[in-house]
Amino acid sequence: EDQVTQSPEALRLQEGESSSLNCSYTVSGLRGLFWYRQDPGKGPEFLFTLYSAGEEKEKERLKATLTKKESFLHITAPKPEDSATYLCAVQYPTQGAQKLVFGQGTRLTINP
Amino acid sequence: EAGVAQSPRYKIIEKRQSVAFWCNPISGHATLYWYQQILGQGPKLLIQFQNNGVVDDSQLPKDRFSAERLKGVDSTLKIQPAKLEDSAVYLCASSLGSVLTGTSGPLSYNEQFFGPGTRLTVL
């Protein structure tokens, strides 16, 4: 079953056009939700960790928020260099261990 | 600080051949992960080491995939024999954090630092 779903799959914006990416999850006992940025041909780069509903974190033009069912990555006045695939991952306990499951990513393109 | 190193960066092989990937994590990181990322998908965890012990290999196809972590530092991932569906990017990551064995207690995963990956093409 799908435990982590990201939407939209792809998003094309004009420079300066703000928007949000969504990461919804169905796991029980969330221990952490992570956002990563991945550029073509590179490994994911860590952005944020959120631990509890209501938490928010910001970095430059990005702000991540968390509810009990989903997380949003808000992008304010994006620039072309913000173009990348944004991945979310959730950490949860299962069978006596911790699991980390990634979503499929949102491919973001910012046109100048 | 040096990042996670992986080699080779690219590999092309025929199906049924063998291939090995190497990873050198960030110095001092106890936890090492191997992920498989198929084009258009998020990374899928194959195996996780805590020092030189395996913590989670539930998604590793053990009939053809094997991995080891030498002396709790470097790691190799091997595929033998390769299939067409193994074509993917293989990512190695490391983190400082130790892994929980239960459902309570301090948070386990620290920030994971990823290497650049090895792109494998199986023909």
Q: What would the pLDDT profile of B82-119 be if each residue is shown by its tens digit?
A: 999 999 999 999 988 754 443 333 454 567 889 999 99
Region for A96 from its dihedrals, namely left if φ exceeds 0, alpha if ψ lies in -120 to 50, beta otherwise: left
Which range is least confidently modeled, A21-30, A61-70, B106-115?
B106-115
* A12 vs B108, higher pLDDT: A12
pLDDT tens-place string over residues B38-89? 999 999 999 999 888 888 898 999 999 999 998 889 999 999 999 999 999 9
**Pick from A45, A49, A105: CB nearest B42:** A105
Share of chain A above pLDDT 90, in %: 76
Are B48 and B59 contacting, i.e. CB atoms less than 8 angstroms apart?
Answer: no
Q: Give the gap in angstroms from C-alpha A41 to the nearest C-alpha of chain B.
A: 7
For residues A43 and A65, give the distance between their C-alpha atoms in angstroms, rounded to a whole number: 23
Write the residue in B41, B43, B99 that is nearest to A44 by C-beta.
B43
Contacts of A4 in chain B (CB under 8 A): 42
**Which residues partner with A65 through β-bridges?**
A56, A72
Q: Does A43 touch chain B (CB under 8 A)?
A: yes
Q: Which tokens belong to A82?
A: 């913000």
